[in-house]
Amino acid sequence: MRALLPAVLLLGGCTTAYGDGMGDILRGQGIAAREPDYDVPYVPTPEPVVDAMLAMAGVGANDTLIDLGSGDGRIAIAAARLGAHASGVEIDATLVERARRNAALYEVADRARFTRANLFDVPLRDASVVTMYLLPRINLALRPRLLTELRPGTRIVTHAFDMGEWRADEERLVADRRVYLWIVPAVAGGDWRATLADGREVALHFDQRFQDVTGTLGAAAITGTLRGSAIRFTAAGRAYTGTVGEAAITGDNWRAVRLP
């Protein structure tokens, strides 16, 4: 779980009791104090948490998983054992070699591959699942890329730390650890022209804040949410559902086209 940045970024004031020493790391003590070249120190994710992360994301044979800061490879290897194609990104060459040996040991080296690289330089577009055990500052630094490079519906799972103002779609407590799941939302914000079930055309406007939307349909106020490309909102007491594309929303008995 490491990234390379100009300086070690540690958060003070954390009182969470992590049995693996994460509490000390967040206070600038322990492993991190001995690793000045890495922005995120290596702390392995417990196996029950690994299992929970993959279960929350529904990882299966059709998935392509990228583990950012992959350490000894345990998350990517577990995903490969579920049939997924997995890759791990790790800045520490020793850990990359360890992960490769572990993949060979579990006979998944053809589906779990590991690369020595800075996680900020890795292309994300092909992933259907992204897993991370990084510090809060790194999560926030990655957040714009996760929202813009990943396709709508991509699942992101983090261990221990959230994404700030981006509310998690699901959260679990596993062996005293927090695990968070986000579904990358489509881009719905902006102006649309909606055609309703009765044939009327009305203006549709969305203001989007991550997966939450507000706005107006004609003169009626809107509140709603996105889960990937699926949108649900209410206006004037009526519920609307649809699928958001780049240029159109296809709904049940209604549709909308994006205005330039």
For residue 12, the model assigns a pLDDT of 24
pLDDT of 124-142, one tens digit each?
A: 999 999 999 999 999 999 9
**pLDDT tens digits for range 52-95:** 999 999 999 999 999 999 999 999 999 999 999 999 999 999 99
Residue 14 has pLDDT above 90, yes or no: no
pLDDT of residue 42: 86
CA 62 to chain centre: 18
pLDDT of residue 39: 64
R_g (Cα) of the chain, nearest Å: 21
Helices 74-81 and 47-57: crossing angle, nearest 10°? 50
